[in-house]
Amino acid sequence: MQENYIELVKKINNGKLLTYSILTFGCQLNENDSEKIAGMLEEMGYIKIDDYKSADLVVFNTCCVRENAEEKLFGKIGEIKKIKENREVLLAIGGCMMQEEKMLKKIKTSYPFVNVIFGTHTLQNLPEDIYKAVSKNQKVKDVIDIDGEIYEDLPIKRESNFKASVTIMYGCNNFCSYCIVPYVRGRERSRKPEKILEEIKDLAKKGYKEITLLGQNVNSYKGNEKIKNFADLLDEVCKIDGIEKVDFISPHPKDFTDDVIDVIAKNEKISRIIHLPLQSGNTKVLKEMNRKYTKEQFLELAQKMKSKINGLVLSTDIIVGFPGETDEEFEDTLDVVRKINFEQIFMFIYSKRDGTVAAKRDDQVPEEIKHKRFDKLKELYESKVDENNERYIGTIQKVLIEGESKNNENTYTARTNTNKVVIFDKTQKHNIGDIVDLKITESHKWYLKGEIL
């Protein structure tokens, strides 16, 4: 059905060499959706360019996890409006924000020049939406508010030739009280294991070496009789010849079962940095966040993972200034950070999201206090960075060469299996996409230096 629309648009655009550009906001799931959008647009004959201000078709793939994303989007829409005054541009806006009723209304009423609006559950209809917009000059709104089905075999244009993200499950059932994701991405639904493994085997055949399994809550993945759960799936992915590095994002601490830990421990291919979102270190706040673990349970889990998995480091997400959070409760977060020594911390200031349970509370923390706590956490985190990086000096790291360094064409850049950037001199023998052994020689604040062995 959508193939017909792809053909129709292709015919209309025939010979025009029209360009497209996608601006992606938010998480890796959105990035993966954008690769699918790119796949469909390329099939329709559009040619990719990076500068969205010069493109004939512009897609904004939106995020609504935090409020500042909205302001950013309005700014970008304003830029396109100006361009539209001088030449034809087709503007399509999709993604999570369009699943929010309030935002959808605002875009429809305040920005009538937007040509296509699509949601997260209707991504696969994009060819039809674009067809209606280009052939009939219709304003298209294609957003549905159901939990969404899983659409397989959409065309996809991947950003890299050796690293690929593969979505294994969609949606979230957790309803953390601050989070809007369950409302815009719908309930949890897992892809069939056969489909996932088929996709990864195909990627391996095409030369892909690094796979990131994606989902809002990957470790609550549900498979079939044979590949029952996330542990089984991880194990199967590691067995695929040609795949050298396996990563996943994001797991939930409450579902981090022993079988998952054991599979990681025995498979060297799996990344040695695991993202374990803490959110808060205080048990009362965690309960109000509906996170389903206590401070002690989190510490115990982290300890168990580190003792069972060789060379493991952890990264995390932390929210400061959740409604009602007191200074003492925030101290518990700092305490956990000191105890666990996270390799990477993604820090967020609590942002009130309409429709969530926490947004209704009347004990919101004043902005000033939220910022103070953020700065304190940042200071603690940054004070650990040097110490953590120095630990790498003298170690041997097996890395995949990702590309030339941004500022120096004589050096390559790669990442350790704990996601640290390493820069090293190019040699004649090695190319982008190769896996090499590096000896780490220097540590800097945000990167390491190494030598090929």
Binding residues (CB under 6 A) for ligand SF4: these are: 172, 174-176, 179, 181-182, 216-217, 252
Q: Is residue 103 involved in binding ligand 5AD (CB under 6 A)?
A: no
- Residue 411's CB is within 10 A of a number of other CB atoms, namely 15
Partner interacting with residue 155 (select from ligand 5AD, ligand SF4, none; CB below 5-8 Å by kind)? none
- Minimum CB distance to ligand SF4, residue 433 (Å): 32
- Only segment of 98-106, 206-214, 343-351, 388-396 that touches ligand 5AD (CB under 6 A): 343-351
Rounded Cα gap, residues 181 and 179, in angstroms:
6
Residues between 352 and 371 with contacts to ligand 5AD, criterion CB under 6 A: 353
Among 61, 165, 167, 351, interactor with ligand 5AD by CB under 6 A:
351
Answer yes or no: are the C-beta atoms of 167 and 211 closer than 8 Å. Answer: no
Between 52 and 178, name the residue whose CB sits nearer to ligand 5AD. 178
Answer yes or no: are the C-beta atoms of 92 and 118 closer than 8 Å. Answer: yes
326: tokens are 């007191």
Answer yes or no: are the C-beta atoms of 220 and 188 closer than 8 Å. Answer: yes
Rounded Cα gap, residues 314 and 326, in angstroms:
26
Partner interacting with residue 211 (select from ligand 5AD, ligand SF4, none; CB below 5-8 Å by kind)? none
Which amino acid, residue 225?
E
The conformational region for residue 397 under phi > 0 = left, psi -120 to 50 = alpha, else beta, is beta
- Minimum CB distance to ligand SF4, residue 260 (Å): 16
Between 263 and 345, name the residue whose CB sits nearer to ligand 5AD. 345
Between 308 and 352, name the residue whose CB sits nearer to ligand SF4. 352
Find the farthest-apart pair of alpha carbons in the chain and give their distance in angstroms, rounded. 66
- Only segment of 15-23, 70-78, 207-215, 346-354 that touches ligand 5AD (CB under 6 A): 346-354
Between 34 and 280, name the residue whose CB sits nearer to ligand SF4. 280
Rounded Cα gap, residues 209 and 432, in angstroms:
12
- Minimum CB distance to ligand SF4, residue 417 (Å): 25
Site string for ligand 5AD, 160-179 (x = CB under 6 A): ------------------xx
Partner interacting with residue 350 (select from ligand SF4, ligand 5AD, none; CB below 5-8 Å by kind)? ligand 5AD
- Minimum CB distance to ligand SF4, residue 52 (Å): 28
Under DSSP, is residue 173 helix (H, G, I), strand (E, B) or coil? coil
Rounded Cα gap, residues 321 and 348, in angstroms:
9
Among 18, 55, 65, 130, interactor with ligand 5AD by CB under 6 A:
65
The helices-and-strands tally (H runs, E runs) of the chain is 13, 19
Peptide linkage before 160 cis (omega within 30 of 0): no
Q: Is residue 274 involved in binding ligand 5AD (CB under 6 A)?
A: no
Kindly state the helix (H) or strand (E) to which residue 247 belongs, with its residue range. strand 245-249
Between 67 and 386, name the residue whose CB sits nearer to ligand 5AD. 67
Rounded Cα gap, residues 181 and 99, in angstroms:
10
Between 269 and 275, name the residue whose CB sits nearer to ligand SF4. 275
Tokens 């990264």, located at residue:
315
75: tokens are 């700014």
- Only segment of 165-173, 350-358, 375-383, 443-451 that touches ligand 5AD (CB under 6 A): 350-358
Partner interacting with residue 172 (select from ligand SF4, ligand 5AD, none; CB below 5-8 Å by kind)? ligand SF4
- Minimum CB distance to ligand SF4, residue 287 (Å): 14
Taking alpha carbons only, the member of 236, 146, 248 closest to residue 195 is 236
- Minimum CB distance to ligand 5AD, residue 353 (Å): 5
Rounded Cα gap, residues 393 and 382, in angstroms:
19
Taking alpha carbons only, the member of 316, 335, 440 closest to residue 389 is 440
Partner interacting with residue 216 (select from ligand 5AD, ligand SF4, none; CB below 5-8 Å by kind)? ligand SF4
Between 113 and 346, name the residue whose CB sits nearer to ligand SF4. 346
Question: Residue 147 contacts by C-beta under 8 Å, 6 or more apart in sequence?
Answer: 121, 171, 186, 187, 189
Tell me the C-alpha to C-alpha distance, in Å, between residue 125 and each of 38, 41, 169, 175, 325: 13, 12, 20, 28, 43
Partner interacting with residue 57 (select from ligand 5AD, ligand SF4, none; CB below 5-8 Å by kind)? none
Residues between 305 and 334 with contacts to ligand 5AD, criterion CB under 6 A: 317, 319
Rounded Cα gap, residues 366 and 321, in angstroms:
8
Between 59 and 179, name the residue whose CB sits nearer to ligand SF4. 179
- Residue numbers of the site for ligand 5AD (CB under 6 A)? 65-66, 178-179, 277, 279, 317, 319, 348, 350-351, 353
